[in-house]
Chain A
Amino acid sequence: MNLSDLYRQVILDHAQHPRNFGALPDGLKVELHNPTCGDEITLFLTLKDGVVEKVSFQGSGCSISMSSASMLTDAIQGRPVEEVLHLNREFRKLLQGQEAEGELLGDLEALSGVTAFPARIKCAVLAWNALEQGVRSQKGEGDADE
């Protein structure tokens, strides 16, 4: 098991210098936490005409959950919701060790090392679970994946 496969420089960089960190007063707010480890994430989102207009997050947790949240905000800003949901699916495939669209994922591909540490997958998906919940509530539908 190679540590540098998990803790790649880009992950440590995002964890130590999270992008889009802070609240969006007018945004949709989704708060999630991981009861087993105490990781907390609040995702803020504004959607306009089916596009993610602004996104930010606040919270505390391990470098995997924080970097994943930070990269998520970078990746979805300005993107149509449909594309965001597609990215969400591809990211989850990556964490399951399945083939995913590397080009689409960009920096997020760095989190593929998590597959070797199954106990940490829940850290990597916390922000994405918040994203799914937020989008679902906006669409008013049962399942954001559909």
Chain B
Amino acid sequence: MRRDDFPLLQQQMNDHPLAYLDNAATTQKPQQVLDALHTYYTRYNANVHRGVYALAAEATDRYEASRAKVAKFLNAPSAQQILFTKGTTEAINLVAMGMILPFLRVGDEIVVTGAEHHSNLIPWQRIAKLGGATLKFIPLKADGTLDLDAARKLIHHRTRAIAVAQISNVLGTEHPIQELAAIAKEKNAVLVVDAAQSVPHGPVDVQQLGCDFLAFSGHKAYGPTGIGVLYGKPELLEKMEPLQYGGEMIDKVELHTATYKEAPWKFEAGTPPIAEAIALGEAVDYLQDIGMEAIHAHTKALTEYAYEQLQAVDGLTIYGPPPAQRGGLIAFNLGNVHAHDIATVLDSRGIAVRAGHHCCQPLMRWLGVSSTVRASFGLYNTRAEIDRLAAALREAKEVFGV
């Protein structure tokens, strides 16, 4: 799918054509996104929201136009519900510290799942400790899917926040966001969705999901690093406190007091990553031009194919549910060979995968392993690359005598 748009993919790695299968970590960038960064710096680099000259007006217009593009992309009712952040991690920290912690009382509870990325666990650990709250975990069923019955019992009137990934970055599991949103609404808890692994690979509609907050990272969605998005409901954004104070987020300043702008600008103190925000808008255009349904279908077909091919490798263990219930990634181990050894063999054959704990140490313990190999797919990956992956894994079996 439009592989030629990606300059980086045209190169060799260790004398083999690069097969980039680490898209859950970060994606490659199409020429259109690279051009957007370049054009900003060569044609209209100026600070946003302050200059009165034409250049500054153009930078501001394009920066705000990008916000509107992201709003439309997520089907958010208004562009003012889209905050630019550094990435998913910063977005979740902002909700935890700015929205939940100030209203937390001793004995309150925060609910996450046993499958969360450290970025959707550590901020909650931190504020639970600061606010005297207890962290509770929705357990996983044996196949790695979320135990919704247990969630119903776990979430009650003292639950202040429920934080959950839409798609697990290790198991690939799709979590039932709509059902959790219904529970959250009933119990008056704030539902925060980590959409880092879902937004880039299929249609995501915040209104349909019914979540209160949703975060994703630009660099995992074919955009630049250093830019991410937090969507929030207006009444919550009004209550949420900024974590960064300074220029650009203020309304009126006295020597001892100040009033702030309204959302989203009160959360964007200082000069934002302008080029990155604009280039993220370009990435969104690029994805919508292909179509999120088409990208989803491509990734789904590739994942099903990879699942079959990997299952056919003797001695290989796949973690998580069957392809029908998962996003575009597969974590596995080969015999008892360490994941890093497998990744090195694949590297020598030009195949880039992730090996390690994937920022999910508690989940690794639940799986009873110290690490796994993970292949994750993007819009430019092909069946031929999956075939190469399977062939290289058979080679690894030879090397390590599995």
Interface positions of A (Cβ within 8 A of B): 1-3, 6-7, 12, 16, 36-40, 60-64, 117, 119-120, 123
Contact = CB atoms under 8 A, between A and B. Distances in A.
Contact of A36 (B341, B345, B356, B401): B356
Contacts of A123: 340
A37 B357 CA distance: 6
B340 A62 contact: yes
B400 interface: yes
Contacts of A2: 348
B400 A38 contact: no
B370 interface: yes
Given A37-B355, A38-B361, A63-B337, 13 more contacts: A1-B348, A3-B348, A12-B401, A36-B356, A37-B356, A38-B357, A38-B364, A39-B340, A40-B370, A60-B370, A63-B338, A117-B347, A123-B340
Nearest to A61: B338
B15 A63 contact: no
Given A36-B356, A37-B340, A3 B370 contact: no
Interface residues of B, number: 21
Contacts of A38: 356-357, 361, 364, 370-371
B225 interface: no
B47 interface: no
Interface string B347-386: 1100000011100010010000011000000000000000
A121 to B, nearest CB: 12
Contacts of B348: 1-3
A69 to B, nearest CB: 13
A134 to B, nearest CB: 23
A17 to B, nearest CB: 12
A28 B401 CA distance: 35
A3 B399 contact: yes
Interface of B: 14-15, 337-341, 344-345, 347-348, 355-357, 361, 364, 370-371, 399-401
19 contacts: A1-B14, A1-B348, A3-B344, A3-B348, A3-B399, A37-B355, A37-B357, A38-B361, A38-B364, A38-B371, A40-B370, A61-B338, A62-B341, A63-B341, A63-B400, A117-B347, A120-B340, A120-B344, A123-B340
B295 to A, nearest CB: 30
B15 A1 contact: yes
B16 to A, nearest CB: 9
Contact of B399 (A7, A117, A120): A7
A133 B399 CA distance: 34
Contacts of B355: 37
A120 B347 CA distance: 12
Contacts of B14: 1
Nearest to B350: A1
Contacts of A120: 340, 344
Given A1-B14, A12-B401, A63-B337, A6 B370 contact: no
Contacts of B347: 1, 117
Contacts of A7: 341, 399-400
